[in-house]
Amino acid sequence: MSKGRMRRGALAALIIAALAAATWFVLPAVRISVAERTALAQLGRPYIFGAAGPESFDCSGLTKYAYARAGVELAHNTRAVAGDVRYRTVSEPSDFHRGDLIYFDTVGNSDIDHVGLWLGGNRFVHASSAQGAVVVSDFDEKWKARFVLAKRVV
């Protein structure tokens, strides 16, 4: 094998390794960004129980729709995704990352019944039955008291 051919082969291997490393670190950020943009593009769309878009949403339908656009398939069931062991559980709000799914017990029966997508800056986007639409909310004392867990799906 000639030296030129060996150099080209080594260069090709280096490029492939660099692309693989870039994909490992960049792809999750790209997926999260796509999911965020998709969810935020739905602001104001009506809340309808069981709806998964694109005209209306319930909370898990919104997160499923947003992450599907980012190439991540989620169940259209709040409890199913919250209990999915494939995804890392985050217990403390101080450990939230952009794109985490945050789960709540909104009726006080110790059961997860609501989900939103963490945006950072102490805010999340969700399909709110109380407000009747997709909205952005502050993670204030009301929501902190109802918080159960978060899942990192990307």
The rounded distance, in Å, linking the Cα atoms of 139 and 123 is 5
Catalytic one of 61, 114, 119, 128: 114
Nearest residue to 116 (alpha-carbon basis) of 72, 61, 53, 54: 61
Catalytic one of 31, 45, 64, 126: 126
Does residue 59 have an active-site annotation? yes
Does residue 97 have an active-site annotation? no
Q: What is the phi/psi pair of residue 102, to 5°?
A: -110, 135
Provide the residue count of the chain.
154
Does residue 76 have an active-site annotation? no
The rounded distance, in Å, linking the Cα atoms of 22 and 103 is 31
- The residue whose two tokens read 């990352």 is 97
CB 122 within 8 A of CB 138: yes
Nearest residue to 46 (alpha-carbon basis) of 129, 138, 125, 136: 129
Catalytic one of 35, 59, 90, 127: 59
Active-site residues, by number, are 59, 114, 126
